[in-house]
Amino acid sequence: MDRNDALDKIRKCLALSESPNENEARAALMMARKLMAAYKIGEKDLTFVDVDKTPVKRISSVTYTTLRDNWMPNLIRLISERFCCRGFTHREHGKKLRHPGFIGFPHDVDICVRAFEYTVNTIRSNTHGSVWDNALRDSYARGFIAGLDRAYKDQDDELEATLCNEHSLTVVMGVPPEVEEFSNSMLSVKKVKLRTYKSDFFSYNSGFVDGKNHLNKKVGKGAERITSK
């Protein structure tokens, strides 16, 4: 593959990264960045796309409380780092509801928020009903997050094998320095007390299996609609 072929493939990958399917979008974005690193192609070379490198902050449509959804910070951290963003939580003074948000380049944040909201919607849909108390829901969600983390790592390994060269995905898909700097200037770190629930083995394992298979699911119509809790 020469440089012109790489440019063409990057263009196609960036177009595919607009896919509503989280798995396709992330894989395409990783492929584009990997090729950019391998062929030393910068955004100035990508005249066929609008590449905005100005970090932005975006609040998702999800809301949660630490009593019901104390697994949420772990999911925010997992997905934000997988999409080259920094996650945070916003809470208005005197209110219990919290609002997850993300900081990153516009294109990264778009995919990150979409993936996060779809994942939250899936977890909540799978634990809906009176049989799910907070402890069972917490066990399932933590298992789901662990399974999703495994799925992401398997995806990374597969892509590394496909694009094996001296450029590691750890570097290519890391949080950009501009995003880190912007995050540090915008965010303050505060400790949040989370309730601890007794883990349920069967709920955790069920969540792990669902989380590991999550990237293979197709996003259907209405899948991005989130019911705030």
Closest CA relative to residue 84, chosen from 179, 186, 167? 179
The pLDDT value recorded for residue 31 is: 74
What tens digit of pLDDT does each residue of 170-208 get? 555 678 788 888 888 877 766 666 677 888 999 999 999
User: How far apart are the C-alpha atoms of 225 and 208, rounded to whole Å?
Assistant: 23
Q: What is the mean pLDDT of residues 10-27?
A: 71
Q: What percent of the chain has pLDDT above 90?
A: 34
Q: How far apart are CA 220 and CA 49, in angstroms?
A: 27
The identity of residue 15, as a single letter, is A
pLDDT at residue number 166: 44
pLDDT at position 41, please? Answer: 63
Both structure tokens of 188: 């303050």
Q: Give the pLDDT score at 37.
A: 64
> Which strands, in side-by-side order, build the sheet including 86-90?
56-59, 99-104, 86-90
Q: Rg of the chain's alpha carbons, rounded to an integer?
A: 18
Comparing 90-104, 130-144, 159-173, which segment has the lowest mean pLDDT? Answer: 159-173
pLDDT (0 to 100) of residue 25: 73
pLDDT-derived band of residue 99, with 50, 70 and 90 as boundaries? very high
Q: Flag whether pLDDT at 48 surpasses 50.
A: no
pLDDT computed for residue 44 by the predictor: 55
